[in-house]
């Protein structure tokens, strides 16, 4: 695909310089955008890819892709402030009140950027409505995540569908709407499957990483944690169940990381998580392979989701 990264980055920096007038805010904004660039602007890439996939031409899509990235960045900052996660990020060098302002600024700038993109007004309107709706879905999902309210896997997957997958659906669909004037339910379905698969993968990684945020230590109910809890008791690993129920304190388990990782393997948690993740990936493949489109775009999307 074309060199999308510098084009999106140029839009992002241009918008930040135009609207963040306070020097400290602008510096923090530019530093945050550089973090996004280092992460390869994946959501914006999905907007450009789907715009091209559905026949869109011209350069106006880069501004729309920037709008998507600004929304993701605003939500990422809020998520990190809530979870006290990713301590090295530029927004953590700000006081919380300023960091929150930066996040609100990015979310508002996302709207501004999309509303003033160079597309027919009705398509801009449709895409802005879609972006807002998906953001609201994600905020509901994020709230469920913060409440740690999932009682079983079905509830967990519903939360993930809202919190994470909705944003990937948004990134893809903005490209589709701007190219064709309407949403495509098949794209929503496959993007949802990729989003869920990616979240399951992240949850597994977060389970084994005791150096950073760890879902087990934080007693967070994720798919691998729920499976682990259901099998740990059967296999006489009471300490895991006791810690999760609050009957043991962190200092009583912190030295057991190695043992914990062995239990994750022994109970089949790794196998189970892997199968669940791949099932969603295969659902995605099944949908996209059934769609009529230029093989070039399909291959790019499959490669991106791998």
Partner 1 sequence: MLKEMIRKIVTEPEFMARIQNGQLQLAGMSAFEQRAFLDVMQERKPDDSLRKSAYWA
What is the smallest separation between the CB atom of 13 and partner 1, expressed in angstroms?
23
User: What is the footprint of partner 1 within residues 123-142 (CB under 8 A)?
Assistant: none
The residue (of 124 and 223) whose beta carbon lies closer to partner 1 is 223
Q: Which of 140, 170, 160 is nearest to 201 (CA)?
A: 160
Give the separation between CA 158 and CA 84, rounded to whole angstroms. 24
The residue (of 1 and 275) whose beta carbon lies closer to partner 1 is 275
20 binds partner 1 (CB under 8 A): no
168 binds partner 1 (CB under 8 A): yes
What is the smallest separation between the CB atom of 305 and partner 1, expressed in angstroms?
7
* Half-sphere exposure in the Cβ direction for 17 (13 Å, CA): 6
Q: Distance between alpha carbon 299 and the CA centroid of its chain, in Å?
A: 22
What is the smallest separation between the CB atom of 275 and partner 1, expressed in angstroms?
5
- Report residue 142 as tokens: 């994020």
Burial string for 187-221 (b: 16+ CB within 10 Å, else e) reads bbebbbbbbbbbbbbebbebbbebeeebbbbeebb
202 binds partner 1 (CB under 8 A): yes
Helix spans in the chain (H): 4-19, 23-38, 42-53, 61-83, 96-115, 121-147, 153-160, 166-180, 185-208, 223-232, 238-244, 250-253, 257-266, 269-289, 295-305
What is the smallest separation between the CB atom of 139 and partner 1, expressed in angstroms?
19
Q: Tell me the window of 97-105, 127-135, 144-152, 201-209 that interacts with partner 1 (CB under 8 A).
A: 201-209
- Report residue 109 as tokens: 């700038």
The residue (of 135 and 277) whose beta carbon lies closer to partner 1 is 277
What is the smallest separation between the CB atom of 208 and partner 1, expressed in angstroms?
8
- Using CB under 8 A as the binding criterion, the count of chain residues that bind partner 1 stands at 38
By rule CB under 8 A, what string of x and - marks binding of each residue 237-276 to partner 1? -----------------------------xxx-xxxxxxx
CA distances from 66 to 21, 30, 139, 243, 271 (A): 19, 13, 20, 43, 38
What is the smallest separation between the CB atom of 272 and partner 1, expressed in angstroms?
5
Give the separation between CA 151 and CA 243, rounded to whole angstroms. 17
1 binds partner 1 (CB under 8 A): no
Q: Which of 42, 115, 129, 146 binds partner 1 (CB under 8 A)?
A: 42
Q: Tell me the window of 138-146, 177-185, 213-221, 226-234 that interacts with partner 1 (CB under 8 A).
A: 226-234
71 binds partner 1 (CB under 8 A): no
49 binds partner 1 (CB under 8 A): no
Please check whether residue 7 is in contact with residue 61, taking contact to mean a CB–CB distance below 8 angstroms: no
Q: Which of 30, 111, 230, 256 binds partner 1 (CB under 8 A)?
A: 230
Rg (CA), the chain: 21
The residues binding partner 1 (CB under 8 A) are: 42, 164, 168, 194-195, 198-199, 201-202, 204-205, 208, 227, 230-231, 234-235, 266-268, 270-283, 286, 304-306
């Amino acid at each position: 695909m074309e060199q999308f990264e510098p084009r999106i980055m140029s839009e992002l920096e241009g918008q930040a310089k135009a609207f963040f007038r306070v020097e400290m805010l602008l510096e923090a904004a530019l530093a945050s955008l550089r973090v996004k660039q280092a992460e390869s602007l994946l959501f914006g890439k999905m907007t450009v890819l789907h715009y091209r996939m559905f026949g869109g031409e011209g350069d106006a899509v880069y501004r729309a892709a920037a709008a998507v990235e600004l929304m993701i960045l605003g939500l990422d900052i809020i998520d990190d402030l809530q979870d006290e996660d990713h301590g090295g990020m530029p927004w953590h060098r700000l006081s919380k009140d300023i960091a929150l302002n930066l996040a609100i600024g990015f979310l508002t700038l996302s709207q501004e950027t999309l509303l003033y993109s160079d597309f027919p007004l009705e398509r801009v309107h449709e895409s802005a409505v879609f972006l807002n709706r998906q953001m609201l879905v994600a905020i509901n999902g994020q709230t469920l995540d913060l409440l740690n309210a999932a009682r079983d896997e079905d509830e967990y997957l519903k939360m993930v569908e809202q919190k994470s997958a909705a944003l990937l659906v948004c990134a893809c669909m903005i490209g589709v709407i701007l190219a064709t004037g309407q949403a495509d339910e098949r794209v929503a379905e496959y993007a949802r499957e990729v989003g869920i698969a990616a979240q399951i993968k992240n949850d597994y990684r977060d389970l084994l990483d005791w150096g950073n945020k760890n879902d087990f230590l934080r007693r967070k109910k994720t798919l691998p944690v729920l499976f682990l809890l259901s099998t740990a008791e059967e296999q006489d690993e009471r300490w895991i169940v006791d810690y999760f129920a609050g009957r043991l304190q962190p200092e009583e388990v912190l030295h057991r990381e190695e043992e914990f990782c062995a239990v994750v393997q022994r109970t089949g948690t790794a196998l189970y998580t892997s199968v669940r993740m791949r099932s969603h990936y295969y659902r995605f493949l099944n949908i996209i392979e059934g769609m009529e489109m230029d093989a070039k775009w399909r291959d790019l999307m499959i490669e991106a989701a791998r």
